[in-house]
Amino acid sequence: MMLPKLMHIRMFVAVYEEGSFTVAASREGLGQSGVSAHVRQLENQLGVRLFARDRTIIPTPAGHAYYQQCVQLLRQHESACNAVGHRAEPSDGSLRIGMIPTMTRSVFSRALLAFEAAYPNVSVHLTEGAGSVIATAVRRGMLDFAITQRMSYDGGGGAVGLSTSLFTRTPAFLVSSPDSGLPHCEPVRLSDIKDLHLVLPIGRRPLLEQYLIDHKVQVVQRLNWFESMLGAMDLVRSSHWAAIISGLFIADDLRRKRFTLNPLADPILWDEMLLVEPARKPLSTIAQNFIGFLKKATEDINAIPIRIAHGEQSSNADFNEISRHE
């Protein structure tokens, strides 16, 4: 049997990951009929049906098994091309990155300044958005990689077509007004707080709701419709409402004391940030280098929220380090 053409395999992987011939065609820059023809030829060559075609496109058991091998083949092919110099890593060009607001507010600018000093001819394009949106953009080849928040409380796996790995963990803080009466930066148990009015931003709601249930936290009133963490914090600052926000997001506010900030205790609630990349191809060297700068900036900024969450005191020098690149 002749080996399948690489283009056939690419089109099959695109249809499998997108669940649609139309979306796969848009992603790959071909007409829908062209994508269908590639997949049909592949099926004929293999002698099996890879998709059950009805109102929806559903991979057959053979399709599921074949995809797992194909996605690794495409990744290895890309690595092989890079290794022999067919796609040499440029010292210029562009890098397309997606990030959730937690990362753009606290870490991105510091990493970008360091990266620009090392790679002045590389243009960096940032897309800020919800984790699900930027992850989809990575899968469709619109972004090189993204940093998102793990959405499921139990740490469920990544989406089809994506490879995810833990980027960092940051402790969550209760954010309330300066007049809340809570001692700034002291760990608190939510179950000990009476009359708790809690804002639950949409993107964080599943994680927070599960934490509240697990630890029997009584909430008097909830606001569930906020999409923006900045909007939630604006409300919190001048009202009786409180919110639970990632330590990285409010790292600079620890120093400025515009809010009362308390890490959650017994247990600490950890927000996990994930590095998301396409499963079918490896990250470029330039992308890996940017991630290195991003990790260094994250470690520097995240160190203080982590120490406070563990009940340690931080000095003014620590807070000055957070704001050094403002």
Among 196, 170, 139, smallest CA distance to 272 is for 170
d(CA 255, CA 304): 10
Q: What is the DSSP letter of 269?
A: P
DSSP per position, 31-76: -HHHHHHHHHHHHHHHTS-SEEESSSEEE-HHHHHHHHHHHHHHHH
Q: What pLDDT sits at residue 318?
A: 52
Residue range 27-73, pLDDT digits in tens: 999 999 999 999 999 999 999 999 998 778 899 999 999 999 999 99
- pTM of the prediction? 0.86
Class of domain 93-168+272-322: alpha beta
Q: What is the DSSP letter of 267?
A: S
d(CA 36, CA 38): 6
Q: Which tokens is 70 given?
A: 């194909």
Q: What pLDDT sits at residue 152?
A: 44
Q: What is the DSSP letter of 202?
A: G
User: Is 6-83 a CATH 3.30.420.40 domain?
Assistant: no
Domain edges within the chain: 6-83, 93-168+272-322, 170-270
- Segment (H or E) for 29: none
* φ, ψ (nearest 5 deg) of residue 186: -90, 135
CA distances from 164 to 79, 154, 228, 295 (A): 18, 15, 24, 15
Among 201, 194, 181, 206, smallest CA distance to 250 is for 201
Contact 203, 239 (CB under 8 A): no
d(CA 53, CA 60): 10
Among 170, 207, 173, 206, smallest CA distance to 190 is for 173
Among 264, 308, 254, smallest CA distance to 106 is for 254
Q: What pLDDT sits at residue 85?
A: 65
Residue range 159-181, pLDDT digits in tens: 899 999 999 999 999 999 988 88
Residue type, 138: V
Among 27, 28, 31, 22, smallest CA distance to 6 is for 28
Among 187, 206, 153, 204, smallest CA distance to 266 is for 187
Domains 93-168+272-322 and 170-270 share a fold: yes
- Segment (H or E) for 169: strand 162-176
Is the CA virtual torsion 147, 151, 155, 158 positive or negative?
Answer: negative
Q: Which tokens is 290 given?
A: 């940017």
Domain 170-270 falls in which CATH fold? Answer: D-Maltodextrin-Binding Protein; domain 2 (3.40.190)
d(CA 300, CA 26): 41
User: Strands 93-99 and 145-149, how do they pair?
Assistant: parallel
Residues of the chain below pLDDT 50: 152-157, 317, 319, 322, 325-326
3-state secondary structure of 246: strand
Give the chain's largest Cα–Cα span. Answer: 75
d(CA 101, CA 236): 18
